[in-house]
Amino acid sequence: MSAPAGDRAASASERVEIVPAAVHEKVMAEAERIKGWGEAAERVARDEVNQPTINNWLEAMGLDNPRFEAGEAPPSMAQVWTMYGLGGKPSEDDPLHSMMRVLTDAGFTAVLGTNCEQSYDRYLTVGEKVRVTTALDSVVGPKVTGMGVGYFVTSRNTWYVGDERVATMLFRVLKFIPRAKADA
């Protein structure tokens, strides 16, 4: 089957050709199970918001803004505070990583980040401790793309200081069987 320009959902009859029905049913059942966890996965930042990390970010991004040199963090740093770090591993209850394992086990071994939608409620300030919750938002597929056949996986992250929401992010990836492999 040739892939059209762009991507599209496979019809039920095409799904049999591109992804066996049993595989698709298992993927979607696991997606529903993991979505049922809600925002169960929570991670607290290793460090408080701090000026040295802000300074490193400013330098790396080529930014020069006195506001960020005086105790406020650029909004785009929200994720920085709760990243796993080198050698860090996601917990077993992390929805995004759990869904990615399901797809890897089903043969969808390649990954491509497709888009990210962020919103910021307020700036973070030095001394605040951030935490993030993660939920599986959706799994859509199988889709035929120029990269191969796969599923679009969207997770939803929400950052908090105490009980106050400070930022959100929808993060979408394509987990797929590379085209050369899919066409073989």
Domain ranges of the chain: 8-183
Cα–Cα distance list, 63 to 126, 137, 153 (Å): 18, 33, 32
Half-sphere exposure of 89 (CA within 13 A, CB side): 2
Tens of pLDDT, residues 126-138: 999 999 999 999 9
Query: Where residue 184 falls among pLDDT bands split at 50, 70, 90?
Result: low
| pLDDT attached to residue 18 | 86
| pLDDT attached to residue 2 | 38
The verdict on pTM exceeding 0.85 is no
Query: Where residue 5 falls among pLDDT bands split at 50, 70, 90?
Result: very low
| pLDDT attached to residue 84 | 85
SS3 state at 23: helix
Count other Cβ atoms within 10 Å, centred on residue 125: 13
Averaged pLDDT for residues 113-133: 95
Please state, rounded to an integer, the average pLDDT across all residues of the chain: 89
Q: Note the CATH architecture for domain 8-183.
A: Roll (3.10)
Tens of pLDDT, residues 45-62: 999 999 999 999 999 999
